[in-house]
Amino acid sequence: MDTPLLKKLWEDKYQIVPEQFQKIKQVDAVATGFNANIDAVYHMSAQKLKELIEQQSLSLEELKNLERTSILDEKDFLKGVFRSFSLGIAEEWICENEKVYQWLQKNIGYMHLQIGGQGGIMANVLSVLGVKKVFVHTNSLPALQAEQFEKRDNLLSFDQNGHIQPAYLIDRSQDLPLIHWIIEFKRGDIIELEGQKFKCPKANRFIATYDPLNLRLVLDQNFMKAMLQTPLNFVILSGFHALLSSNNGVELIEGIVPKILELKQKNPSAIFHLEVASTQDISIRKAIVQKLIPLMDSIGINDRETIDLLFALGEKSLAKRCDEKTTAESLLKGLSKIKEKTGVKRIELHMFGLYLTLQDKNFHITPEKNLNAMLTASVVAASKAKTGSVEFENIQQVKYDVSDVGLIEIDSLGLLLGQSELITSGIGRYRSWDLIVVPTILIENPLSLVGMGDTISSVSLVAAR
């Protein structure tokens, strides 16, 4: 089947999306935790990056010399930005130095503020889509952060007295504002250093995180107590990537395990999902793989995180193959290894032009429902990329222009697996598991990519109920 016919076939499949939005409104309760913060978004041009590099007198050799992947001084910050810019990859590095935090405030600032942290972002999205009650964990909720939550009465958190209120109305005035810098850059932008040109191959971002509370996994006990008494359909967890082994991060993860098990015991029918994020701390990465993922029903992951988890599992050769050839074929092998070693029932992968889910045959959500939910996530993500936010009016106006890249990937994967029907049905099999694939809607020159993976994973899960 030629490309125009395939695009039309998938555009027809996308017609199910409005019906899926009605199903989301039937979901009673979702809890998201643990990280919510304020994102300070800055769109950095190649020229601005060059100016900052020159101000710090950084040579090209120094820029490429990564002594660490954390931020101890201003030069570390610029090394991280240059790495993400030149490679077109998303990374998040932790900053524990208050002087660097002050330097960022003075020299970078922000173009706008928005809700940040996977927990916060997913809560906003799900509230807009109409989940009846979305409970969001916030270890800090002063007015400045509360203002970043959607002004909706279905998005709930806890005030200083432990009372449930719409999150946007709360002002825990004694709390510390938690601000993360999101440095975004455009595909095709070019920086010239020492006579060499570096072209950004993909629109992406670099995150510099200064967040003492999330770094210590400080929990809101009012949230934890209430969730043990509330029937939940989904529990979506995240934020563990911000921990550091040097700050007892592994011990903090070990300490949260009994609390997750208690939540699971109180909500035996709820689906527990972990949204994975990039972490440069290998000990934390190993703790996430060994102690958290085996507790989960589902995880959300991108191509970079797939590679990172494979390294943490000791699968170095497979990780390197995925890194050298980041295709659906190689990543599927990586996902199967993660699934095999952790026992997680469902893995949802989001990559450029394609979403792919690998799940157990007897998983709570059928492949057909998963497919429809992934289509829904693609539409929501496209709207967010185009406008920079999730608004239902904008979502309804998205054109179902299916990605050629995704179609090519699915076609190649189907031929490799001997399942030529995969390109037309989106549903197949891999080993003993169900395989679901969807070519996404791509937006040229996206306004923002912050929280894209969180949006995709949460909607792909909740819309499938």
Spans of all domains in the chain: 3-27+233-462, 45-107+177-212
Q: What pLDDT sits at residue 176?
A: 80
pLDDT in tens, 345-368: 999 999 999 999 999 999 999 999
CA distance linking residue 368 with residue 361, whole number of Å: 12
Model confidence at 70: pLDDT above 90: no
- In this model, does residue 465 exceed pLDDT 80? no
The domain defined by 45-107+177-212 carries CATH number 3.30.360.10: no
**46 and 183 Cβ atoms separated by less than 8 Å:** no
Q: Which two tokens stand for residue 122?
A: 């997913």
For residue 247, the tally of other CB atoms under 10 A from its CB is: 17
Q: What angle do CA 220, 298, 89 make, to 5 degrees?
A: 85
11-54 pLDDT per residue, tens = 999 999 999 999 999 999 999 999 999 999 999 999 999 999 99
Q: Residue holding tokens 């994973």?
A: 457
Give the model's pLDDT for residue 267.
Answer: 95
Q: Range with the lowest mean pLDDT among 86-90, 124-128, 268-272, 395-399? A: 395-399
Residues 361-391 have pLDDT tens digits of 999 999 999 999 999 999 999 999 999 888 8
CATH of 3-27+233-462 given 3.30.2350.10, 3.40.1190.20, 3.40.30.10, 3.40.1350.10: 3.40.1190.20
Q: Say if strands 354-359 and 433-439 run parallel, antiparallel, or are unpaired.
A: antiparallel
Over its C-alpha atoms, the chain yields an Rg (Å, rounded) of 21
pLDDT of residue 53: 97
Q: Coil, strand or helix: which one is 335? A: helix
Give the model confidence (pLDDT) of 269-307 as tens digits.
Answer: 999 999 999 888 999 999 999 999 999 999 999 999 999
User: Does the pLDDT value for residue 3 go beyond 90?
Assistant: no
**C-alpha–C-alpha distance, residues 251 and 413, integer Å:** 41
| Cα dihedral: 165, 169, 174, 180 (round 10) | 110
Residue range 247-273: mean pLDDT, rounded: 96
Average pLDDT over residues 99-106: 91
- 93 vs 295, more confident: 295
> In the predicted model, is pLDDT for residue 208 greater than 90?
yes
Share of the chain above pLDDT 90, in %: 84
The predicted model scores a pTM of: 0.87
What average pLDDT does the chain have? 95
H-helix or E-strand containing 314? none
Instruction: Give 119-147 pLDDT, tens digit per residue.
Output: 999 999 999 999 999 999 999 999 999 99
